[in-house]
Structure 1
Amino acid sequence: MKWANALKDYQLYLKIERGLSENSISNYSYDVKKLINYLEANNISISPISISKETIQEFIYTIAKTVNARSQSRLISGLKGFFNYLVFEDYRDTNPLDTIDSPKIGRKLPDTLSETEINQLINAIDLSKPQGERNRAILELLYSCGLRVSELTNLKISDLFFEEGFIKVTGKGDKQRFVPIIDSTQKYIDIYRKEVRNHKNIPNEFKDTLFLNRRGKQLTRAMIFTIIKQLAVKINLNKTISPHTFRHSFATHLLENGADLRSIQLMLGHESITTTEIYMHVDKSHLKNVIKTFHPRK
């Protein structure tokens, strides 16, 4: 079996059997491609079926010199998934990474923005330009609904249920959820739709896509990152932020203001509550308030 064939089969498995998104498939494939490039660069001719633990260990030791512990851990996890697939399909008897441990890493707390910083970013948007109304609606939506960037770029007009106060979001693995949307965010989306979007020449395939670029096509993930980074520079924000920062801030601010973790989990679309629990570490004062408010001996 050749590496290229094994990788292609694995990608099909991730798409069809696991139902993963294109972004997730790309990330998993990247880990395998790193190993393939290492083998080619070192003239190591060995198939995915016969590669040994020792060869993979040498590869990981080499990578470890250039990346941090978190990246090493992600790489090992990605490769384990690939070789688990080969074992599952009976191409191999064992996974060569079964006895290779990932480096221990501390849980990284998410970066957050204060309400003041979020307001400063939104206020820095130049509303005199057509894309200004669009960008304001984007930032308001990221913060008020806690969307992932891919969820935002894929959002359809037909996903907006404003009368009911919800939007339908398609998340990881094409799983759908309904997220409440506040009146002010609805207002900014309506302004963008009526005053900017309605005046665009939109190709048929993007008629239902909510946020469009100047050519009437769907915005890319990279464009959302660029919009946010430019605004951060504009207000001299001394933080490294991304669209995901608004998602973290959404969850953190809800928790700080008394929302329960289960509700936050549902709105974020986390499959496991343990993923949502990371927000409990952001502001421990919340825990004190819970005890003071709810404990019978307070």
Structure 2
Amino acid sequence: MAMTGPLAPWAPGMAEWLTRLGYTPRLVERHLQLAGGLSKFLHRRGLTASDLSQELIEQFAAARRAKNRSRRPTARSLSWLVDYLSDIGVATAPAALPVRSEQQVLIERYRDYLTVERGLVPDTAANYVPVVTLFLAAHPVRELHELSAADVSEFMTSQCRQVSTRGAERLATGLRSFLGFALVEGLISVSLVGAVPSVARWSGATLPRGLTSTQVAALLSSCDRRRPLGRRDYAILLLLVRLGLRAAEVSALRLDDIDWRTGEIVVRGKGRTEERLPLPPDVGAAIAAYLRRGRPRRPEREVFLRACAPLRGLTPDGVSEVARAASERAGLGSFGSHRLRHTAGTQLLQAGASLPEVAEVLRHHTIATTAIYAKVDHLALRDLATPWPGGAR
């Protein structure tokens, strides 16, 4: 059915845009039908394409949901249309922004402080926001000038009862960071960072949970390499388990980062560091197989792309989900990508690598971080055990 209304002149361009994003013909048709409904919605109100705003899209989606309960579109279903009309200069009216509270404004300023002043990447900065949101719910912005050390300690005490040791550490780190920001901004008059108690946790008290060689084989075998998705997931899993890359590092890997002649890759790690690592032949072969017979022919420079439209670079969460899905297929439980990083560290040590060598591959900043892997080498540790008095060793 031909589109009518103020959006009709751009219908062919919409179809081309959606096709470039990787949508199948069937999904292109479905999205155009939704856009056609929006076009009629605008026409009934005497509006043009340039009047399109987020508020109007929300109203249209709400009307469709009320009329047809079997199909419940959301404003996000039409985000591609806003991008397209903005790209061609049609939707020039700025989307209506909701009124932000004092808390939201402060959190945005804090986020900017983390990324600009502290130099944190956006994903890392986002990890601090939930802590600040929780703290400001108990201590509103306008009351921060009255904040005391007792208030900070009381907040930590009440929250730590509800989280794990690891969660308490994240809570303390985030709160110290925010209190430092609050002092810089003049929201508090004295430093309260010292009021945040340290979390009792023995360094190295836990063991890294790696996989056995049999489990690794089962994990890799769960990928159907006859299909493009299987070839992609197989290459990702090999990068995780052979080189110990983090999910964000796999996500950030670009086509230009692979030097096929020297057999090396550039890894963008924590703190915006860039390091070159050797590319093992089996890992390189897996990536090449995906690039030749799996990766869609797209202009994006990220190596690994989403399997479904819109075809964009895979996110760190997407990489971790690849590991999780493979672990469940292989019957190994459910775990993310970091378990495979631990596997790489333990396998390197068991193969005879020294701790400094393991630290270099895993790109640890200090050897103390790597020392935890020494505890999994039970044969080496056995020689350190002293005989029990009066008994067999």
Corresponding position of 2:143? 46
| Preserved contact between residue 168 and residue 178 of structure 1 (Cα < 8 Å) | yes
Greater Cα shift, 103-112 or 151-160: 103-112
Q: Which amino acid aligns with 2:327?
A: A
- Aligned runs of 1:174-253 on 2, under 5 Å? 174-197=272-295, 200-202=296-298, 204=299, 206=300, 208-214=301-307, 215=309, 216-238=311-333, 240-253=334-347
| Preserved contact between residue 20 and residue 172 of structure 1 (Cα < 8 Å) | no
Q: Do residues 63 (structure 1) and 159 (structure 2) align?
A: yes
Q: Which runs of 5+ in 2 are unaligned?
A: 1-101, 386-393
Superposed CA offset, 1:19-38 (max 9, x none) = 21222101122211111123
Q: State the Cα distance separating 1:167 from its structure 2 match.
A: 0.6
Greater Cα shift, 109-118 or 279-288: 279-288
Aligned Cα root-mean-square deviation (Å): 2.4
What is the rounded CA distance, in whole Å, between the counterparts of 2:200 and 2:164 in structure 1? 11
What is the rounded CA distance, in whole Å, between the counterparts of 2:378 and 2:189 in structure 1? 47
Q: Do residues 160 (structure 1) and 255 (structure 2) align?
A: no
Corresponding position of 1:17? 117
What is the aligned counterpart of 1:77 among 173, 186, 191?
Answer: 173
Query: Larger C-alpha radius of gyration, 1 or 2?
Result: 2
Corresponding position of 1:296? none
What is the aligned counterpart of 1:147 among 245, 264, 268?
Answer: 245
Change in CA separation of 1:290 and 1:247 when aligned onto 2, cut-off 3 Å? farther
| Preserved contact between residue 147 and residue 268 of structure 1 (Cα < 8 Å) | yes
| Preserved contact between residue 133 and residue 196 of structure 1 (Cα < 8 Å) | yes
- Aligned runs of 1:278-289 on 2, under 5 Å? 278-287=372-381
Q: Which amino acid aligns with 1:211?
A: F
| Preserved contact between residue 72 and residue 102 of structure 1 (Cα < 8 Å) | no
Q: State the Cα distance separating 1:63 from its structure 2 match.
A: 1.4
Q: State the Cα distance separating 1:95 from its structure 2 match.
A: 2.8
Change in CA separation of 1:113 and 1:39 when aligned onto 2, cut-off 3 Å? same
What is the rounded CA distance, in whole Å, between the counterparts of 2:272 and 2:208 in structure 1? 25
Q: State the Cα distance separating 1:56 from its structure 2 match.
A: 2.1
Q: Which amino acid aligns with 2:143?
A: I
Q: Do residues 271 (structure 1) and 271 (structure 2) align?
A: no
| Preserved contact between residue 151 and residue 171 of structure 1 (Cα < 8 Å) | yes
What is the rounded CA distance, in whole Å, between the counterparts of 1:45 and 1:16 in structure 2? 25
What is the rounded CA distance, in whole Å, between the counterparts of 1:176 and 1:90 in structure 2? 36
| Preserved contact between residue 253 and residue 302 of structure 2 (Cα < 8 Å) | yes
SS at match of 2:277: strand
Q: Which amino acid aligns with 1:166?
A: E
Q: State the Cα distance separating 1:157 from its structure 2 match.
A: 0.8
| Preserved contact between residue 11 and residue 29 of structure 1 (Cα < 8 Å) | yes
Change in CA separation of 1:118 and 1:35 when aligned onto 2, cut-off 3 Å? same
SS at match of 2:339: helix
Greater Cα shift, 261-270 or 144-153: 261-270
Q: Do residues 117 (structure 1) and 215 (structure 2) align?
A: yes
Q: How many residues align?
A: 280
Change in CA separation of 1:50 and 1:175 when aligned onto 2, cut-off 3 Å? farther
- Aligned runs of 1:92-111 on 2, under 5 Å? 92-106=188-202, 107-111=205-209
Change in CA separation of 1:267 and 1:90 when aligned onto 2, cut-off 3 Å? farther
Change in CA separation of 1:36 and 1:90 when aligned onto 2, cut-off 3 Å? closer
Change in CA separation of 1:234 and 1:224 when aligned onto 2, cut-off 3 Å? same
Q: Which amino acid aligns with 1:180?
A: P
Using the size of structure 2 for normalisation, the TM-score is: 0.65
Superposed CA offset, 1:29-57 (max 9, x none) = 221111112335xxx9512x432122222
What is the rounded CA distance, in whole Å, between the counterparts of 1:87 and 1:284 in structure 2? 49
Q: Which amino acid aligns with 2:305?
A: L
What is the rounded CA distance, in whole Å, between the counterparts of 1:18 and 1:260 in structure 2? 34
Q: Which amino acid aligns with 1:226?
A: E
| Preserved contact between residue 175 and residue 196 of structure 2 (Cα < 8 Å) | no
Q: Which amino acid aligns with 1:151?
A: E
Q: State the Cα distance separating 1:287 from its structure 2 match.
A: 4.5
Change in CA separation of 1:52 and 1:269 when aligned onto 2, cut-off 3 Å? same
SS at match of 2:139: helix
Q: State the Cα distance separating 1:194 from its structure 2 match.
A: 0.7
Corresponding position of 2:227? 129
What is the rounded CA distance, in whole Å, between the counterparts of 2:363 and 2:147 in structure 1? 38
SS at match of 1:178: strand
What is the rounded CA distance, in whole Å, between the counterparts of 1:70 and 1:22 in structure 2? 21
Superposed CA offset, 1:124-170 (max 9, x none) = 11223220111111111111111000100110010001321211000
Corresponding position of 2:348? 254
What is the rounded CA distance, in whole Å, between the counterparts of 2:243 and 2:121 in structure 1? 21
What is the rounded CA distance, in whole Å, between the counterparts of 1:59 and 1:89 in structure 2? 21
